[in-house]
A and B are shown apart, each in its own frame.
Chain A
Amino acid sequence: MLRALAPAPAMAPGAPWSNSSPALAVLLFSSLVLSPAWAIVVYTDREVHGAVGSRVTLHCSFWSSEWVSDDISFTWRYQPEGGRDAISIFHYAKGQPYIDEVGAFKERIQWVGDPRWKDGSIVIHNLDYSDNGTFTCDVKNPPDIVGKTSQVTLYVFEKVPTRYGVVLGAVIGGVLGVVLLLLLLFYLVRYCWLRRQAALQRRLSAMEKGKLHKTSKDSSRRGRQTPVLYAMLDHSRSTKAASEKKSKGLGESRKDKK
């Protein structure tokens, strides 16, 4: 297919090269990418870190232009660090996983993949320093069998080092988050408190207006009532006292109006 595309860029000499070359480049690129219609693309991690004695998951996923068939097969190969040969350690075919039972990974591999979810991952238990090396995931999905495999390198450490930036990001994010949260909380509480203050003030001023209308006739009572109102304004912060006196005051005004 690549050969078929080669004559395409041939153009007459003296043609306006600069005008059409970006479009041509896009066309060429897209055809190179899209033309392998019968190929499979496999994705794995680049590197995986594991601690001695623990387990590690080697992920493998793929993209195929065909539907996942029942004949799909996964193969994992292992090439030791510094070695040249790759040995096959895992094979999955026709719905049946075949695990290494005689080699270095005897009884340590577990199949956790699911072809329906395009996942061909395996788990290696009980890591050892001799497991350092490169693992290759190979997926074949008939009739889609041509494609690139993908490799993941396993590093086994005594203690897995944390990646750079994890602590940095965590400290910055944590402190900023806490500060923002506290500020929000503070503003929320203050807003609610101010709103309640405003509502109380409004009710008190409305009541005072009503009281003044009434007590303009009865001057003798004014002395007794206005101290009550001022006392209420003073105690407006304690809600129980304020609400009790308010209800009493309202009840009185209603009775007086009658």
Chain B
Amino acid sequence: MLLLLLGIIVLHVAVLVLLFVSTIVSQWIVGNGHSTDLWQNCSTSSSGNIQHCSLSSVNEWLQSVQATMILSVIFSVLSLFLFFCQLFTLTKGGRFYITGIFQILAGLCVMSAAAIYTVRHPEWHSNSDYSYGFAYILAWVAFPLALLSGVIYVILRKRE
């Protein structure tokens, strides 16, 4: 029982860390010598020493991606907090519905953010050669993990 609890908490914290890293680190799209993410565009000079970073554009779609990523982090943190609350207040045999719902919401938010970014990113950066950076991949990885975590919470029953 304790092992199960520990496993669930580790999964939740892993999802949270993935969401944080994906939101903050500057590696959604990388090309040769430049990288962009949700908040800024950074480019290294040809010599490789100097980095210039400037703010990303004020596009509405980029703002919505930022907003949904932030929302997913908020929902995941709330879900963790509610999990601990429900752990101590739920009756025996009860299910962690609220925790699961918030975690599922976080997963949906990440998915919509990544989807919007994939479709609309030509609007705010105009480089032709690019590839997706690891933060972008982390966002897509966080989505099924968050869904899985949420579903586990909904199915789980409180014992002891």
Contact = CB atoms under 8 A, between A and B. Distances in A.
Question: Does A associate with B in a complex?
Answer: yes
DSSP majority for the A interface? helix
Contact of A171 (B58, B63, B105): B63
B67 interface: yes
A228 interface: no
A148 B150 CA distance: 61
A175 interface: yes
A112 interface: no
A171 B64 contact: yes
Interface in A164-188: 164-172, 175-176, 179, 183
Interface stretch (B19-27, B43-51, B68-76, B120-128): B68-76
A82 interface: no
A163 B64 CA distance: 14
B58 A168 contact: no
B60 interface: yes
Contacts of B64: 167-168, 171
B74 A171 contact: no
Given A161-B58, A167-B60, A176 B74 contact: yes
A219 interface: no
A164 B67 contact: no
Given A171-B64, A171-B68, A175-B67, 9 more contacts: A162-B60, A164-B58, A165-B63, A168-B66, A171-B71, A172-B67, A172-B71, A172-B74, A183-B98
